[in-house]
């Protein structure tokens, strides 16, 4: 394996771009149905009844984001207070040049030395001097840009590939666009990059595992850091071999993105990513951004996590929609990033699904890769105040940059000038990484349930104690290549939101059936005031009661309706019967609201036939018992071949 590239295993973890045919169809369906103006009603029949309640969900306001208070656990790299309309001045720390394992090793550090060839042999020079010399020369084309970057990364001269960068500037852009970039945009990027020592005058701590901490930066400081990432100046970040110092961190230098032309058949993804990022640099170079961004690593020790079986809260209010996107209709809410444990996933590589797209349209998120170690099982990363710069079409291999972002057109809840008292945009994104279930049935085990609900809870909760929290905007978290069950993940996120005291807005990504299923079960739970502790126990019992011989005897929602002694909705019954008849994963389903008659000799209409197994008949009897429990109907045992079926022990399910 070459230096400058993450190990193959790490690449697989960071980049998951496969989509099933069904997923691709849903994406294309969403694009076809997406309305030109979101100010027009765009809900289907089951969403009309919820349209009037969308406006009542709590959004971020100037006083609802956690405060910025410098402390040992919150590094603030600018001076307070923030004056509206002005970019804050950098805070001058006592030790700006911390060259150790607890802080970002900065490109301008006096400790960053690099071997340099002279007529008298190799000598060590300050690497920052090499960077300044290379970038201060006039650069008129991508070939000269490659030479400049390699002049202070000489050991990678035979290893790094810039074919994607050359393809972009020589073949994708026309001559006038390429000329404009090198004459107008690139000099601004160079100025941003070389201004780093004056813009960042305090050490940037690494956000390490199991150490809750926050970093607040100005948007201009973020832009300078990202410009240095573009020019690949960060030392010790060009190898991810274990046990290298940064093997547990994502990559940050852009060198992998520049080789995108070799990603065939995904070469177009690299082109579209470069369009997003160059648009961002064009914007910040033409006008200084004035805001502030906070990166908060959250960690909850397992001893402080909720005791789910004892939880008495009921599920929160829910709006579920088959149309819309988290980043558009979810503006002003806590937006969920379906994250990789290496935040950003494959944003600088071939990945281009939900997380990577978020990092491309909110490029300031990328700087989190500089200092955020891989997330642990009870950790999340919350980024508050990042600004959106781009819009897009498509998904994965069909992803396309579609121009600059205009909040007035695309986010009906947004305001161009909406910021908090620190100058942060009223946008907050939480990165939570789901488990990858190579064996999908494992996600129903209690250990897996506990890990996922705790992960969501850590992301949704607010340890700063802010009251009246905004709603969570989420969707099918971990349900793509990670094989998560969207019905299950919706319930786990509802439970986490209930414990965190937030409402939930759920986007099903074009799946109308899922929308209706989640909506119906939520109404059952909400109207009957079922404690989430009781729901938790039913979820734990589902695996032990319904999984045998490699398959489930009932779908999750059908099982829940039966143990909750609620009749399943008619459309759910019809859809489930259809899907089960064609599925090899589930043996049989008995609707809890069925019309089977019970007589002294057993269940009428069910013949003792070889097509019904002992397990089928047991499941049928238990479902009927649950449905008629309130009427205390005395059921006779169902016999098969003279054997008797044991009486119920009284346990649900």
pTM comes to 0.82
Of the candidates 425, 201, 416, the residue with the CA atom closest to the CA atom of residue 294: 425
The span from the CA of 602 to the CA of 182, in Å, is: 83
pLDDT of residue 194: 98
Please give the C-alpha separations between residue 370 and each of 204, 373, 440, in angstroms, as whole numbers.
Answer: 10, 9, 33
Q: How many CA atoms lie within 13 A of 548 on its CB side?
A: 13
pLDDT of residue 25: 46
Nearby residues of 135 by Cβ (< 8 Å), 6 or more positions away: 148, 190, 193, 194, 231
The span from the CA of 195 to the CA of 218, in Å, is: 14
Question: 274-317 pLDDT, tens per residue?
Answer: 999 999 999 999 999 999 999 999 999 999 999 999 999 999 99
Q: 2: cis peptide before it, omega within 30°?
A: no
The set of catalytic residues is 337, 355-356
Nearby residues of 441 by Cβ (< 8 Å), 6 or more positions away: 543, 547, 550, 552
As given in the structure block, the two tokens for residue 649 are: 């022990």
pLDDT of residue 6: 54
The span from the CA of 493 to the CA of 481, in Å, is: 19
Question: Would you say the C-alpha torsion 183, 189, 191, 194 has a positive or negative sign?
Answer: negative
pLDDT of residue 59: 87
Residues 330, 331, 334, CA angle at the centre, nearest 5°? 70
Of the candidates 365, 330, 338, the residue with the CA atom closest to the CA atom of residue 217: 365
pLDDT of residue 410: 57
The span from the CA of 388 to the CA of 405, in Å, is: 7
Below-50 pLDDT ranges, the chain: 1-4, 16-19, 21, 24-25, 27-54, 578-617, 620-621, 624-653
- Residue by residue, what is the 3-state secondary structure of 430-459? EEEECCCCCCHHHHHCHHHHHHHHHHHHHH
pLDDT of residue 495: 98
The span from the CA of 499 to the CA of 223, in Å, is: 36
pLDDT of residue 583: 36
Q: Are 428 and 65 in contact (CB under 8 A)?
A: yes
Q: Tell me whether strands 213-218 and 74-76 are parallel, antiparallel or unpaired.
A: parallel
Q: What is the CA radius of gyration of the chain?
A: 28
Q: Are 559 and 576 in contact (CB under 8 A)?
A: no
Q: 145: cis peptide before it, omega within 30°?
A: no
């Amino acid at each position: 394996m070459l230096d400058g590239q993450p190990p193959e295993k790490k690449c697989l973890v960071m980049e998951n771009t496969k989509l099933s045919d069904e997923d691709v169809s849903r994406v294309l369906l969403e694009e076809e149905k997406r309305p030109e103006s979101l100010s027009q009603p765009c809900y289907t029949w089951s969403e009309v009844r919820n349209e009037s309640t969308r406006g009542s969900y709590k959004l971020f306001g100037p006083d609802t984001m956690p405060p910025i208070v410098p402390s040992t656990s919150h590094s603030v790299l600018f001076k307070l207070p923030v004056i509206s309309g002005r970019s804050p001045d950098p805070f001058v720390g006592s030790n700006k040049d911390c060259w150790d394992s607890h802080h970002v090793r900065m490109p301008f550090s006096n400790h960053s030395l690099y071997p340099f060839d002279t007529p008298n042999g190799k000598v060590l020079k300050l690497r920052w001097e090499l960077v300044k010399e290379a970038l201060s020369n006039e650069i008129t084309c991508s070939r000269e840009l490659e030479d400049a970057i390699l002049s202070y990364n000489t050991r990678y001269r035979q290893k790094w590939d810039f074919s994607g960068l050359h393809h972009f500037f020589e073949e994708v852009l026309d001559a006038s666009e390429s000329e404009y970039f090198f004459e107008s945009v690139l000099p601004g990027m160079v100025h941003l990059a070389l201004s780093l020592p004056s813009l960042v005058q305090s050490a940037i701590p690494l956000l390490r595992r199991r150490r809750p901490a926050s970093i607040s930066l100005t948007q201009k400081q973020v832009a300078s850091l990202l410009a240095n990432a573009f020019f690949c100046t960060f030392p010790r970040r060009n190898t991810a071999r274990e046990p290298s110092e940064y093997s547990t961190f994502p990559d940050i230098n852009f060198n992998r993105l520049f080789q995108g032309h070799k990603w065939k058949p995904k070469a177009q993804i690299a082109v579209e990513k470069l369009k997003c990022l160059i648009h961002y640099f064009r914007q910040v170079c033409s006008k200084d951004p004035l805001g502030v961004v906070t990166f908060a690593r959250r960690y909850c020790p397992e001893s402080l996590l909720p005791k789910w079986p004892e939880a008495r809260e009921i599920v929160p209010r829910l709006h579920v929609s088959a149309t819309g996107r988290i980043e558009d209709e979810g503006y002003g809410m806590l937006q969920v990033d379906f994250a990789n444990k290496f935040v950003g996933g494959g944003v600088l590589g071939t990945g281009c699904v939900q997380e990577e797209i978020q990092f491309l349209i909110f490029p300031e998120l990328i700087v989190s890769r500089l200092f955020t170690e891989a997330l642990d099982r009870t950790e999340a990363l919350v980024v508050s105040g990042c600004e959106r710069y781009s819009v897009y079409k498509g998904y994965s291999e069909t992803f396309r940059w579609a121009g600059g972002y205009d909040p007035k057109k695309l986010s009906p809840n947004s305001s161009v000038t909406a910021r908090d008292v620190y100058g942060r945009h009223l946008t907050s994104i939480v990165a939570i990484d789901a488990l990858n279930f190579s064996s999908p049935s494992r996600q129903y085990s209690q250990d897996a349930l506990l890990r996922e609900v705790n992960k969501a809870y850590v992301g949704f909760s607010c340890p700063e104690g802010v009251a009246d929290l905004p709603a969570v905007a989420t969707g099918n978290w971990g349900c793509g290549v990670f094989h998560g069950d969207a019905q299950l993940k919706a319930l786990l996120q509802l439970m986490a939101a209930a414990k965190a005291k937030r409402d939930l807005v759920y986007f099903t990504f074009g799946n109308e059936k899922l929308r209706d299923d989640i909506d119906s079960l939520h109404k059952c739970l909400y109207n009957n005031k079922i404690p989430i502790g009781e729901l938790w126990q039913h979820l734990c019992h589902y695996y032990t009661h319904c999984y045998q011989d490699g398959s489930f005897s009932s779908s999750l929602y059908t099982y829940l309706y039966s143990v909750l002694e609620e009749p399943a909705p008619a459309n759910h019954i019809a859809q489930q019967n259809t899907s089960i008849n064609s599925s090899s994963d589930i043996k049989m389903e008995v609707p809890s609201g069925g019309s089977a008659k019970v007589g002294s000799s057993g269940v009428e209409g069910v013949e003792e036939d070889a097509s019904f197994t002992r397990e089928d008949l047991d499941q049928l009897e238990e479902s009927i018992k649950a449905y008629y429990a309130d009427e205390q109907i005395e059921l006779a045992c169902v016999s098969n071949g003279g054997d008797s079926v044991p009486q119920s022990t009284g346990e649900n399910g």
